[in-house]
Amino acid sequence: MNNITLKRIAEILGISITTVSKALKNYPDVSKKTQKAVLDLAKELNYTPNSFAVNLRTKESKTIGLIIPEVVHHFFSNVINGIIDEAEKNGYLVITLQSNESLELEKKQVELLLNKRVDGIIMSLSNQSNFDNHIKEIISRGIPLVLFDKISKLVNCSKVIIDDKKAAFEAVEHLIIKGCKKIAHIRGPINPQNAIDRFLGYKMALEKNNIPFDPKLVYTCENVTFEEGKTFAKEIIEQHKDIDGIFVITDLVAVGVLACFNEIEIKVPQQVKIIGFSNWFMSQVITPKLSTVDQPSYEMGVQSFKLLFEEMTHKKNGIPFAPRTISLETSIIERESTNNS
Amino acid sequence: MNNITLKRIAEILGISITTVSKALKNYPDVSKKTQKAVLDLAKELNYTPNSFAVNLRTKESKTIGLIIPEVVHHFFSNVINGIIDEAEKNGYLVITLQSNESLELEKKQVELLLNKRVDGIIMSLSNQSNFDNHIKEIISRGIPLVLFDKISKLVNCSKVIIDDKKAAFEAVEHLIIKGCKKIAHIRGPINPQNAIDRFLGYKMALEKNNIPFDPKLVYTCENVTFEEGKTFAKEIIEQHKDIDGIFVITDLVAVGVLACFNEIEIKVPQQVKIIGFSNWFMSQVITPKLSTVDQPSYEMGVQSFKLLFEEMTHKKNGIPFAPRTISLETSIIERESTNNS
């Protein structure tokens, strides 16, 4: 039944192909009776308009590509959620790929999506990625592109971000207000812009509050995992017994810090105060509950699609589009890990 | 540059379209020199074979559809991970849609995927879904279909499941071995097969151990949330002061139970023992750590794609395919919430 076409319907009903086509498209010059006959038969024959043929005509695939570092990640799965919801409202389907933080895989995936002729691409870059050839290729082909969260400043495209520097500054200032005088930072990898900005925010908050910056208090994650949090927590407390605060790149790693401190009986928040980043769901159910920076992940997905849609629409209508950057608001959520009152 | 076609390359180089096409396909009867000229020009002009045209020819879209109830869910995001990884290995892209547990949305999404002419569909049904028309439509059109986790026994298609009844039986027996004599069950909604089977496993374990079944000890989730866990925990302890064990449909809800008991100072495991289901990541980081049933979610994704691929390959080669069901092994993970030694 899959190969049925307008022609077959026309044959069976003894009418012209044009009439069948008009009936399916709800043209007023086809009688209601004929239209009903066509629709009924089309349904019986499992006829659906051939979307590939439609695509050839309109040059739109109504499909976008999404490349993210990891699906199993509370932040990214919320973003995916926002993108899929918003895309669906506008009649777009989303092909999701995960780079597993591999630049090589990311390059291959961009190629796959370009060959698939997606109408646009949304990406959060892998840790090694920067303004590489695969990104240049997307732009030189004129395919609308939006980067979110892990972006590269070098790429001239629309972006949806938070002000990581400001958010980190506020997180560290929160620790200082709570009385911390010697604050360590477990940072993200060297390359991604958001890890750089959070580190700079940490430094700025120390500086503003006349706390000398000590590079020995900065620990760098390679993979941003729970296990790294556990390992670094142990190192920090062994190497700097008088540490009284830790600002951690993300909640998953901060939960590792808490797990270690629970085991070796370092009291949080009495002895060391901890603040994370991103507000993962589990942060509110662990003991002690983790203070963190709330990052509007679902909203980030929605805004990413909206920006992409705007650019796709401009492109379709031949109107020039100037890339824009949307910066979303963050806020500090105070919970038990920084509050000893 | 997007509209460039074989014709344009032929024009520019002053050769026939057939020669251009053969050069791109690496036919031996095209001179190396001509082939190089074609490939170079194609590259300069950003030419990629029009995948829609290719699709029309081969009748394959090399794309599959995936419909799941929720993306932001530790179990489902792990399954997505497995599906995407395995699909990519085999050159397939995955369009992901989430039904938000809405039957109406699920129906619309199936239609979207069928119109998109995906080569196959993988689904976990929404709570209201059963053997409805949209599922029948997939099967009657001969589109390969695999259901996983939340399946309907009525649908004649391949399935990847766990033995929910056996797993639940083992979870409840674990509570009994640990000394529980009055065990409540927070179950999933009425419709999904996995909620039914886990409930039956609970009953079987009581029966086998001569503990009378009391329907008043069964609490039914509507939305399977953290908040429902908190609410039911309070009700259970108010209505049945002597309860000493709870078997909970899934870890997210069980974490809600633990949160409530922490607040109202019911001691776990001394006073009440708790076991969850699914082994969410957060279960090992909360206090007390949650005992649970390990469900191989990533593997479930991998196996679902493998079954779909098998059916798609059979279909392509015109070989009949008999649907199969794969049942994956589960195991009990004992942690602090059931262990008071």
pLDDT of residue A43: 72
Chain B residues whose beta carbon lies within 8 Å of the beta carbon of residue A113: 93
- Contact across the interface for B117 and A226, Cβ inside 8 Å: no
Query: What CA–CA distances, in Å, run from B277 to B291, B293, B296?
Result: 8, 5, 11
pLDDT in tens, B71-128: 888 899 999 999 999 999 999 999 999 998 889 989 999 998 998 889 999 999 988 8
Helix (H) or strand (E) run with residue B189 in it: none
User: A62-161+297-330 belongs to which homologous superfamily?
Assistant: Response regulator (3.40.50.2300)
Residues of A in contact with B312 (CB under 8 A): none
Burial class from Cβ neighbours inside 10 Å (0-12, 13-18, 19+) for residue A53 reads: middle
Residues in chain A within 8 Å Cβ distance of B81: 71-72, 98
Peptide bond just before A288 cis, omega within 30 deg: yes
The whole-angstrom distance between residue A321's C-alpha and the CA centroid of its chain comes to 22
Please compute Rg for chain B using Cα positions. 26
pLDDT tens digits along A141-159: 999 999 999 888 889 999 9
Which CATH superfamily does the domain covering A164-295+332-338 fall into? Response regulator (3.40.50.2300)
At A131, is the pLDDT very low, low, confident or very high (cuts 50, 70, 90)? confident
- Within a 13 Å sphere around the CA of B56, how many CA atoms are in the beta-carbon half? 13
Lowest mean pLDDT among A16-25, A102-111, A190-199, B326-335: A16-25
- Please write the tens of the pLDDT for every residue from B278-295: 999 999 999 999 999 999
Closest CB to B48: pick one of A52, A93, A114: A114
pLDDT (average), residues A177-189:
97
Spacing of C-alpha A75 from chain mean position = 7
Query: What are the two backbone dihedrals, phi and then psi, of residue B3, each rounded to the nearest 5 degrees?
Result: -90, 5
| φ and ψ of B120, to 5 deg | -170, 165
Distance of alpha carbon A231 from alpha carbon A329, whole angstroms: 32
The segment(s) of chain B belonging to CATH 3.40.50.2300 are 61-162+297-328, 164-295+332-338
Task: Using pLDDT thresholds of 50, 70 and 90, give the confidence band for residue A52.
Answer: very low
B126-182 tens-digit pLDDT: 888 877 889 999 999 999 999 999 888 889 999 999 999 999 999 999 999 999 999
Kindly tell me if the per-residue pLDDT of A336 is higher than 90.
yes
Mean pLDDT, residues A220-233 taken together: 96
pLDDT at B56 over 50: no
Residues of chain A found within 8 Å of residue B301, distances taken between Cβ atoms: none
What pLDDT does A3 receive? Answer: 41
Q: How far does the CA of residue B206 sit from the closest CA of chain A (Å)?
A: 31
Q: Cβ–Cβ of B286/A286 closer than 8 Å? A: yes
pLDDT of B143: 95
pLDDT band at A227 (very low <50, low <70, confident <90, very high): very high
DSSP H stretches of helix in chain B: 6-13, 17-24, 32-44, 51-58, 74-89, 103-115, 133-140, 164-177, 193-208, 226-239, 251-263, 297-316
Residues of A in contact with B98 (CB under 8 A): 81, 84-85
Check CB contact under 8 Å for B72 and A88. no
Per-residue model confidence (pLDDT) at position B49: 59
Other C-beta atoms closer than 10 Å to the C-beta of A184 total 28
Name the minimum distance, in Å, from the CA of A78 to any CA of chain B.
6
Q: Which residue has the higher pLDDT, A38 or A327?
A: A327
DSSP label at residue A211: P
Least confident of A52-66, A220-234, B312-326: A52-66
What does the pLDDT average to over A96-123?
Answer: 91
Say if the ipTM goes beyond 0.85: no
Q: What is the pLDDT of residue B2?
A: 37
> What's the CATH number for B61-162+297-328?
3.40.50.2300
Task: Specify the residue for token string 């039957």.
Answer: B103
> Any idea what DSSP says for residue A214?
-
Cβ–Cβ below 8 Å for B56 and A53: yes
Helix (H) or strand (E) holding B248: strand B245-248
Helix A6-13 and helix A17-24, axial crossing angle in degrees, nearest 10: 110
Angstrom distance (rounded) from CA B79 to CA B98: 13
CB pairs < 8 Å spanning A and B: 127
- Spell out where chain A has E strands: 63-68, 93-98, 120-123, 145-148, 158-162, 183-187, 218-220, 245-248, 273-275, 292-294, 325-328, 331-333
CATH assignment, A6-49: 1.10.260.40
Residue limits of CATH 3.40.50.2300 in chain A: 62-161+297-330, 164-295+332-338
**CATH 1.10.260.40 in chain A, residues?**
6-49
Is the pLDDT confidence value at A319 over 60? yes
Residue of B nearest to A118 (CA): B51
Measured in angstroms, the CA of A192 and the nearest CA of chain B are apart by 23
Shortest alpha-carbon distance between residue B210 and chain A (Å): 36
List CB contacts (< 8 A) between A69 and chain B: none
Mutation to test the A interface, candidates B44, B59, B70, B71, most A Cβ within 10 Å: B71
Q: What is the mean pLDDT of chain A?
A: 90
Report CB contact under 8 Å: B93, A116.
yes
User: Which residue did the predictor score with more confidence, B179 or A47?
Assistant: B179
- pLDDT category of residue A2 using cuts at 50, 70 and 90: very low
Given an 8 Å threshold on Cβ–Cβ distance, is B96 in contact with A94? yes
What percent of chain A stands above pLDDT 90? 70
pLDDT in tens, A251-308: 999 999 999 999 999 999 999 999 999 999 999 999 999 999 999 999 999 999 999 9
Contact B51 A112 (CB under 8 A): no
Reported confidence tier of residue A58, pLDDT bands at 50, 70, 90: low
| B222-281: pLDDT as tens digits | 999 999 999 999 999 999 999 999 999 999 999 999 999 999 999 999 999 999 999 999
A1 contacts in chain B (CB < 8 Å): 141-142
pLDDT tens, position by position, B189-221: 998 889 999 999 999 999 999 999 999 999 999
**Using a CB-CB distance cutoff of 8 angstroms, which residues of chain A are in contact with residue B144?**
none
Residues of A in contact with B262 (CB under 8 A): 287
List the single residue in B1, B80, B85 with the smallest CB-CB distance to A141. B1
Share of chain A above pLDDT 70, in %: 94
CB contact under 8 Å between B282 and A282, yes or no, is yes
Q: Which residue has the tokens 């997210």?
A: B252
Does the pLDDT at position A38 exceed 90?
Answer: no
